[in-house]
Structure 1
Amino acid sequence: MNSEDASQQPFSVCVYCASGPVDKWFLELAGEVGTEIGRRGWQLVSGGGNISMMGAVARAARATGARTVGVIPKVLVHLEIADVEADELVVTDTLREREQIMEDRADAFIALPGGIGTLEEVFETWTAGYLGIHKKPVVLLDPQGHYDGLLNWLEEIQGRGFVSQRALDRLLIRTDVESALDACMP
């Protein structure tokens, strides 16, 4: 893609979230995020699954006019039921390739409540930003305290010198959808 093509692309937000069973409330949260992405005229980049929160955010984004890009490794195409309704579905050979494409295609990142896969994606993206590999916002949307234990632990190890305040400042914590998406803007 040449720079002219890149300048014509809508602002893209990568959303990390659960792809496994979750309560209805979390599906509604994912839907709200997708709706707000579409309302703002942005593009969604996601993990390419059509189930759980990942599917909910993509369906809601499309329903409000957003272009959606799903990025999924071959091994997960059937396990996570690939989002064949995505405007663009990228199938990768590896998980690492998936994450690199998602990072490259996004202008900002939002992590919703999730499990170890979500945490791995957040930590990799957050670390890359802290190291200066990218300058893209990394937002943790946590309206119900899903990540409280993690955030308390990070503060604890910061006090012991394992995490700098500068690193902590790179992770933007928000508790509502609108302010989380507002924080995505550079």
Structure 2
Amino acid sequence: MRVCVFCGSSSGQDPVYLEAARSLGETLAANGIELVYGGASVGLMGAVADAVLARGGHVIGVMPQSLVDKEIAHRGLSDLRVVGSMHERKALMAELADGFVALPGGLGTFEELFEIWTWAQLGYHRKPCALLNAGGFYDKLTDFLDDVVDRGFVKPIHRAMLIVESKPAALVEAVRSYEPPKVDKWIKAGER
């Protein structure tokens, strides 16, 4: 199994985020799960990759040439794939992965998470999407998502597709045992 991890190229202000990235990497490697990620050597990205590698795991990084040129590519990976654009990066990571996990991060992390979760909602893939809610980082987001359901913009079945766990071991177990919902139609005839 391969899991794609979306996360920050910085470490954030709370050390709990860095510890979560390391712990997730260790948990992936201990379970024989390969890591697919954005290929950076910095921030939470570098921490999760280093933790997998330190435990003898396999890591595939995917990075656009423009970021390789800025010298942030991790040079110790099992496999670094250099692509031409961010669009190619996301498409290749999605193709390589059997599931997706978002650690704390910024705009890029949010964009990657929401795109891949939207693809699952639309039935473009049936792979698990998850948040590692380290230190309560995603609490306000999950509250907001619940409110969006209450307001009728996201169906409960689609909200339930997003796995949320605060511990790496529980998250890995939930990702491994994920069964996608059967959704025949996500918009009923006559709905606007």
TM-score by length of structure 1 reads: 0.90
Partner residue in 1 for 2:131: 140
TM-score by length of structure 2 reads: 0.88
Summarize deviations over 1:53-86 as a string: whole Å, max 9, x none. 0000001101111110000112222447101111
Determine the C-alpha separation between the residues in 2 that align with 1:146 and 1:78: 31
Given residue 15 of structure 1, which amino acid in structure 2 is its aligned partner? V
Deviation at 1:150, TM superposition (A): 1.4
Partner residue in 1 for 2:86: 95
Partner residue in 2 for 1:17: 7
Determine the C-alpha separation between the residues in 2 that align with 1:25 and 1:174: 15
Aligned equivalent of 1:113, options 80, 84, 104: 104
Q: 1:26 to 1:79 in 2, by over 3 A?
A: farther
Aligned length: 176
Determine the C-alpha separation between the residues in 2 that align with 1:140 and 1:78: 30
Determine the C-alpha separation between the residues in 2 that align with 1:85 and 1:97: 22
Deviation at 1:184, TM superposition (A): 1.5
Unaligned runs of 5+ in 1: 1-10
Deviation at 1:143, TM superposition (A): 3.1
Query: Is the CA contact 2:11–2:18 (under 8 Å) kept in the aligned structure 1?
Result: no
Deviation larger for 155-164 or 32-41: 155-164
Given residue 179 of structure 1, which amino acid in structure 2 is its aligned partner? A
3-state SS of the aligned residue for 1:144? helix
Aligned equivalent of 1:183, options 163, 168, 174: 174
Query: Is the CA contact 2:20–2:134 (under 8 Å) kept in the aligned structure 1?
Result: no
User: Which protein is bigger by CA-based radius of gyration?
Assistant: 2
Identity of aligned residues (%): 39
Determine the C-alpha separation between the residues in 2 that align with 1:110 and 1:20: 17
Determine the C-alpha separation between the residues in 1 that align with 2:10 and 2:70: 10
Listed as ranges, the matches of 1:18-167 within 5 Å are 18-23=8-13, 24-79=15-70, 81-167=72-158
Query: Is the CA contact 1:18–1:113 (under 8 Å) kept in the aligned structure 2?
Result: yes
RMSD (Å) for aligned C-alpha atoms: 1.3
Runs of 4+ in 1 over 2 A off after TM superposition: none
Deviation at 1:21, TM superposition (A): 4.0
